[in-house]
Structure 1
């Protein structure tokens, strides 16, 4: 498996859509500005509570949720190894017989008709 990267925790950028910072949520347009101290304290409060609530939530629930998802993906892997892949292989084997039957029927019944039509239209070819 390897070591866990504690710096870049989303190396495949699967959660780019939830990157949120103060400027993404709150903004004051020109002409309506609060006092500077209010804006600075709002930024500090937003950042603090976002971080604190996220850390408390992950502390309380993160390990259990990770265990649950681990079990879920283990079930999917088990299902694919022991059921889905063998079923697909069986389907491929059985369909190969049907493919041969279809090719034989087309070769015997349809191909002569197509060749005859081709000979008829061959007579109209430009010289």
Structure 2
């Protein structure tokens, strides 16, 4: 038994207010990619597949401190960039979303059918026939290849190679 002098008392504070006051992690370290106010059905990228497509105006255009345009020009260019980006995406997705979805669905259905009706029966057939082929192959190896390799190894066991510089 262990004596009590080695035991240490640890206080565990389960105060919920303290946990709620903890600031959230920075966005790059957060496991939640979408804002918490979006419901489960409004989240369109739940696995963060398209993180690299989150482009903002400041990611594309930036002015150094030495050269600056007028403030109104900067504001209007930011507004026009965001508006063009959003509406171009909406128009292009309206044009291409349905045909690309149909093609993707057909492709995945074709791959599933190929996998279910061609690939898996071949794999199961190989798993069924391989034990017979394995025993046949082991017999061939033990009858022909093993004696040949052991005789070659006995012949070469007396050879020694020494390297020297002249």
TM-score (norm 2): 0.57
Number of the residue aligned with 1:96 = 131
Count of residue pairs the alignment pairs up: 114
Number of the residue aligned with 1:52 = 87
Instruction: Specify which structure has the higher proportion of helix.
Output: 1
Secondary structure at the aligned position of 2:110 is classed as: helix
- Map 1:17-96; keep pairs closer than 5 Å: 17-96=52-131
Secondary structure at the aligned position of 1:56 is classed as: helix
Q: What CA distance in whole angstroms lies between the structure 2 residues aligned with 1:35 and 1:96?
A: 80
Secondary structure at the aligned position of 1:87 is classed as: helix
Alpha-carbon distance, 1:44 to partner: 0.7
Alpha-carbon distance, 1:36 to partner: 1.4
TM-score (norm 1): 0.71
Number of the residue aligned with 1:10 = 45
Larger radius of gyration: 2
Please list every run of 5 or more consecutive structure 2 residues that lacks an aligned counterpart in the other structure.
1-39, 155-166
Alpha-carbon distance, 1:37 to partner: 1.2
Q: What CA distance in whole angstroms lies between the structure 1 residues aligned with 2:119 and 2:90?
A: 39
Looking at both structures, which has the greater relative contact order when contacts are Cα pairs under 8 Å and sequence separation is at least 6? 1
Q: What CA distance in whole angstroms lies between the structure 1 residues aligned with 2:132 and 2:64?
A: 70
Please list every run of 5 or more consecutive structure 1 residues that lacks an aligned counterpart in the other structure.
118-127
